[in-house]
Amino acid sequence: MINTAPTESNLSGLDKKDFQKDLNDKKTDLFILRNVQGMEVAVTNYGCAILSIMVPDKNGKYANVVLGHDSIDNVINSPEPFLNTVIGRYGNRIAKGKFNLYGEEHQLAINNGPNSLHGGPTGFHTRVWDATQPDSSTVIFNYISADGEEGFPGNLEVELTYRLEDEINALVIEYRATTDKATIVNLTSHGFFNLAGIANPSPSVLNNIVTINADFYTPIDEVSIPTGEILKVEGTALDFRTPHTLGERIDDNSQQMVNGAGYDHCYALNKSENGELSLAATCTEPISGRTMEVYTTELGVQLYTGNWLNGFTGAHGAIFPARSAVCFEAQCFPDTPNKPHFPSAILLPGDEYQQITIYKFGVQE
């Protein structure tokens, strides 16, 4: 098991000097957030990667519940490049890396089979963001994505805030973005959660009990691009309207589960109105008793069960095998620019992209 005993500086055992590096004329660093409850989150300004989230189990024992790294070099060279990073300019997949916007075709980098994934190989997850920490529970990151970066049009100014609540153990993520030219924006946080606590090896998440507040989902083809349909979850292995363990149906031989190699699907969340901050999903790890609730203003959430994790080594010798994490990525639907009937991801000059997503932690009563 990893050592989660407190150090002089933080619960996670991370050392600031291991995260300080000069990179592309910018400096990377480690930032520690704390609330009055004792929750602690460690992040770096490289990709806004979350390195650790320290929360208690039913016995009050703290552990890190995200798959993280313990040095900036390991973050940069991670076998999972999107590990707990902010994703942009467009989260999830765009078919063949192409989209047409107001009569102009744009070609993105291809980095996932025939498609573009998560903003491309040098997306927001690889950028050193400017950072300020106004208080002990907040850090604010800023980045300007240049016109043409990874093939996307327009200069996009992005602000990302991580903030811990004091009344509850919750990580609030707020996004804002503006552009000087019509573009597409779909930002998300790609947190890889293991509520049991990371270890050597980190346990499977297949015993996690999940609900998702969605009656519909976007089915995918054999290269994980939405077919364009929006189908009912009813009668499928993707139905989490009532609690099910992730392992109960993950190896179902239906075409959707084969196409995703497990869960890797976007759910169309039940919303009474656009922009409503509402409950998207819940997750409970029955042994530790830890729980997580996901709230978001987004219309979709991607459920991913770490199907492609390959057993690489993370913080303090923790090992991350396949299906040792679950992700709830709040976002637009995948390939929205090529699906005109999907809710739009277009951002115009004079408008502001906004998103709030909250990960609230607790213990089973």
Question: Which two structure tokens, joined as six digits, stand for 53?
Answer: 């989230």
Amino acid present at 154: G
The C-alpha angle 305, 308, 311, rounded to 5 degrees, equals 105
Of 139, 135, 138, 82, nearest to 111 by C-alpha is: 82
Q: Name the one residue in this structure whose structure tokens are 């293991």.
A: 194
Amino acid present at 251: D
156: DSSP letter: E
Segments in 113-263 forming alpha helices (H): 255-260
Here the contacts of 224-232 (C-beta below 8 Å, separation 24 or greater) are: 224/93, 224/112, 224/113, 224/115, 224/259, 224/260, 224/264, 224/334, 225/93, 225/95, 225/115, 225/334, 225/335, 226/266, 226/333, 226/334, 226/335, 226/339, 226/342, 228/339, 228/341, 228/342, 230/268
30, 17 contact by CB (below 8 A): no
Segments in the chain forming alpha helices (H): 72-76, 255-260
238, 274 contact by CB (below 8 A): no
Q: Is 174 a catalytic residue?
A: no
Q: Which DSSP string do the residues of 305-334 spell out, in sequence order?
A: --TT---EE-GGG-EE-TTS-BEEEEESPT
Question: Which two structure tokens, joined as six digits, stand for 354?
Answer: 């906004």
The C-alpha angle 103, 104, 109, rounded to 5 degrees, equals 140
190, 244, 265, 316: the active-site residue: 190
Q: Are strands 156-164 and 138-145 parallel, antiparallel or unpaired?
A: antiparallel
Q: Is 329 a catalytic residue?
A: yes
Catalytic residues: 190, 329
